Structure formats: structure tokens, C-alpha cells
Amino acid sequence: MAAPWRRRARPVAAPVASPVARRIIRLNNGFQLLFNLLWWMPVFYAYQRDAGLSDGQIFGIQSIYYIAFCLFEIPTGVVADRIGARNCLRAGAVVMTAANMAPVLAPSYTGFLVHFLAIAAGRSLTSGAASAYLYDGLRAEGADAHYLKAEGTARSLGLAAKVVCWPLVGPLMALAPQSPYVLSAASAAGSLAYALALPRLAPRAGAARADVRGRRTGTLLRDTGAAVRALRASPWLPLLMVQGVAVFTLSRICQVNLFQPVLLEHGIKESAHGGVLAAMTVAEAVASARPQWLSRRVSPAAWVSLLSVALAAALAGTALGGPWLVVALLCAFAALTGFVYPVQRKLVNDAVPGDAPRATLLSVESIVDRGVCALAAVAAGAYLAAGRLDALLWQSAAVTCVLIPVLHLALRRLGPGAPRGRSAARGPARPAEADQPLPLPVDEGVAPHP
């Protein structure tokens, strides 16, 4: 199926969705909103410190979380194929509800470790199943054209809910310190109600045969082998993935792991953390929906490199100035993240050959992303435990500013333009889908990184 940014202006009007399709969209919106509404996100670092955990323990748990997410991504895909996407969503909601109650019942290292392990399991159960159910459900109702809008609407509603709810976390904690975790558990339980209300999908022609093939070991091995061959055949694709790892690690470590330590270092109290995170969320959401604001005179690969360096500079800048400058830099960091994610995602999708297993290759990128984040979280914990937050920020920026230009030069050397010039006399060029990234969109937004 063509990528959404390949469609140009004046799109064909989508047919009116059936009542069942509209019901699926509404229930999916409710599920996505409540399942991803983690009230504790702005304060979990300070909450764990108040519970007696050291920086090393807090960031060690985060490292274990990333590793667990990587490991859970593999078997949960098999589980979804065997029990169905709808049942997988229900299982994920149950696990998420229990996960959010763990810190309330056991506010200790063990309790927080169980909490994050269960979060990893719950999110991996639903990471692919939600989109799969929505896509299959709308296709079964002949409403394929509504899929992209439905995905975007669900994400927009989820971001709006966070913007509204996160500023309330500080006052709620003043009344009841455990309220963010209790409210997160209640939200997850609400998502379970939406998952239980999802209708059973009508069987499609050939669906049973596809399910049977999907459960065979041989099919999995063939897809894995095809993914490895695609990576070996095109140096351009793995380099783009490595570029994406740099972006994901910077954004994830800053917005999740270092967000609260940076604010606390500059005297910004916990009661204001929810408001700052809400402002960052608004900045990221606006930028994610507007990649056409980036000039088309610069190639997408060059934009990713430039934005990555800008991310590193904004991160280093948080070590300077006062509280207001830090908040402004964090919002700028979030906006840059919003711009770079859709561009990077587009680059990787354009580089995947048409006959390669796209989902497998994107899963490989996701696993590598979180594996690198696991290592970065350990390093961040060690720096914080030693009281060297500023050194961590400056050194992270310096490493990024050195590696990204080197990686960009390698991309220019091995990218689609260079091989075509050298091999013109040897034979035909490779397929355009695999090696010719399309320019940035002008009239359409791109769905942001999940």
C-alpha cells in the first residue's frame, strides 16, 4: 500500500463509514486514550526517590524495562496471531491495570521493578495488536480509507488528554501521594471496558489459511532470513536505522529519564512538572503534524542529521541558565523531536525494498532502539548517582555532534545517488521504492512515531 505522504493534493473523498466501522473507531479512540494515559509519568522519578530508591536503582530499573520490552516484542507477536488482536488488547489492558497498582501495594525496589516489567509486557501486547485490529476491522467493513484518519484522531485525543490531566498531578499528589498510580490503574481498567466492547471481526476470505501459514515456524524463519538479506544487500537501510537509533535514544532519555532530574536540578518543584510535560506534549504534537514546515530544499536525510544536532544542542543548553530557559529548551527539544520522527520514519519506510518483510525490519529497528536506551539509562543513572548531571548533558551532546556528521557522510557516500552513478555502466539501477526517498510532504501531515 502506498505511503500516506505519496498522495498529493485533492484526495478522493472517502466513502461514508458503516455503523460498525464508526463503532470500531469510537471504541478504538477510547481504548487508546485510556490505555496510554499514565498519570504518574511526570513524577515517577521523584516518587521513587521519596520511596527510598537511589538514582542507580531508578535508572537500573529503566534499563531492565527497555531490555524487557525488547524481549517481549518477540513472543507477543506470536501471541497476537494465536489468540487474535482483540483478545490481545484485553490481555494487555488487564496486565496494565495490575502493573499500575504494583507501586501502591509495594512501594519498594521490588514493587517498582515488577511495575515496569508489567508495563513492558502490557505495552508489547498492544503495540501491534491495536493497529492490526483497527485496520482489519475497517477493511472488513469496506472503510479502508478511514484508517489513517482514525489512527491520527486516536493519537490526538490521547495527547489532548495528557495535556489536560498532567498539570493536575501535582495538586492531586498533595492530597494523596499515591493518586497518580491509582488513577493510571483506573484508566487502564477503563480501557479494558472498551476492549471488551470491541465487536468480533467478520472472517475474511483466505484469513484462516493466512493464520495457519502465520503459525508455521518456516514462515517466521523465511521472514527473518529475508530481513537479514535486505539489510546486507543495502548499506543505506541499516545506516538509516542507526540514524534513527540516535534520535530515539536522545529523545527518550531526555523526555522520560532526565526530564525530572533536570527540572529538580534547576529548582522547579514537582507540582509544576505536569504542566511542563503538558507544554512539551503540545509542542511535539504540533510539530509532528507539520513536517511540511521543513524546507524541501534540504533532503530528508540531511534534515534528520541537522535536527539530531539541534536536539543535542538543546539538551546541552538545559545545563545553562535559569528555570524559564530550561523549560523553553525542553519545549524546543520536544518540538524538534516532533519534526524529526515522521521524517525519519518516512526515510526508513522508503528504503525498505518492496519484496522485503517490512514489519520484521521495523521491529528490528524498534528492538535496537530500546536496547541502546537500556545502555543509556544505566549510564545516566551512574552520572546522576555521582552528581554529574551537567557532565552527562554536555558529553551526550558532544558525542552526538561528532557521530551524526560522520554518519551523514556515510549516508551520502552509500546513499541512493552514489550507487547509481558508479553502477550506471554495469546494469540497471535498483528499484526506486528501495533506494529513492521521496521529498518531504507539502500538503499532508505524517503520522508521528509510535
pLDDT in tens, 183-193: 999 999 999 99
- pLDDT score, position 291: 66
List the alpha helices (DSSP H) in 255-357. 259-265, 273-288, 300-317, 323-351
The pLDDT tens digits of the residues spanning 330-379 come to: 999 888 887 887 777 767 767 777 666 555 666 667 677 777 777 787 78
DSSP assignment, residue 138?
Answer: H
Q: Residue 412 pLDDT > 80, yes or no?
A: no
Residue 107, classed as helix, strand or coil, is: coil
Closest CA to 31 of 81, 94, 120, 117: 94
Distance separating alpha carbons of residues 256 and 39, to the nearest angstrom: 13
Q: Higher model confidence: residue 300 or residue 192?
A: 192
For residue 81, the model assigns a pLDDT of 56
Q: Residue 117: its pLDDT value, please?
A: 94
pLDDT computed for residue 299 by the predictor: 79
Percent of the chain with pLDDT over 90: 13
Confidence of residue 105 (pLDDT cuts 50, 70, 90): very high
Q: What is the pLDDT of residue 363?
A: 63
Q: What is the pLDDT of residues 383-399, one digit of tens each?
A: 887 888 888 888 888 88
Q: What is the mean pLDDT of the chain?
A: 75
Residue 35: is its pLDDT beyond 80?
Answer: yes
Q: Three cell numbers at 57?
A: 536503582
Question: Of 13-17, 107-111, 400-404, where does mean pLDDT reach its minimum?
Answer: 13-17
| Residue 213, pLDDT score | 39
Over 70: is that where the pLDDT of 314 sits?
yes
Q: What would the pLDDT profile of 241-284 be if each residue is shown by its tens digit?
A: 777 777 778 887 777 778 788 888 888 887 788 788 888 888 87
What are the CB-based long-range contacts (under 8 Å, 24+) for 153-159?
Answer: 153/25, 153/29, 154/28, 154/29, 154/32, 154/33, 155/32, 155/447, 155/448, 156/285, 157/29, 157/32, 157/33, 158/32, 158/33, 158/36, 158/37, 159/281, 159/282, 159/285
Res 216: pLDDT? 39
Segment 429-436 mean pLDDT? 41
Q: How far apart are CA 24 and CA 17, in angstroms?
A: 10
pLDDT at 406 over 90: no
Average of pLDDT values for 65-76? Answer: 76
pLDDT for 450 equals: 35
Confidence check: pLDDT of 11 > 50? no
162-219 pLDDT per residue, tens? 888 888 888 888 888 899 999 999 999 999 999 999 888 765 444 444 443 334 344 5
- Residue 223, pLDDT score: 58
In b/e form, how buried is each residue of 68-105, taking b as 16+ CB within 10 angstroms? bbbebbeebbebbbeebbbbbbbbbbbbbbbbbbbbbe
The DSSP call for residue 130 is: H
The one-letter amino acid code at 19 reads: P
State yes or no: pLDDT of 7 exceeds 60.
Answer: no
> Residue 100: in which H helix or E strand, if any?
helix 85-105
d(CA 73, CA 60): 20
Residue 425: what pLDDT?
37
Is residue 248 within 8 Å of 309, Cβ to Cβ? no
Task: Give the integer Cα–Cα distance in Å for 119 and 184.
Answer: 11
pLDDT of residue 397: 81
Cβ contact 77:215 at 8 Å: no
**What pLDDT does 422 receive?**
39
The Cα 39–Cα 143 span in angstroms is 34
Amino acid at position 97, single letter: T
Nearest CA to 119 among 36, 33, 177, 32?
36
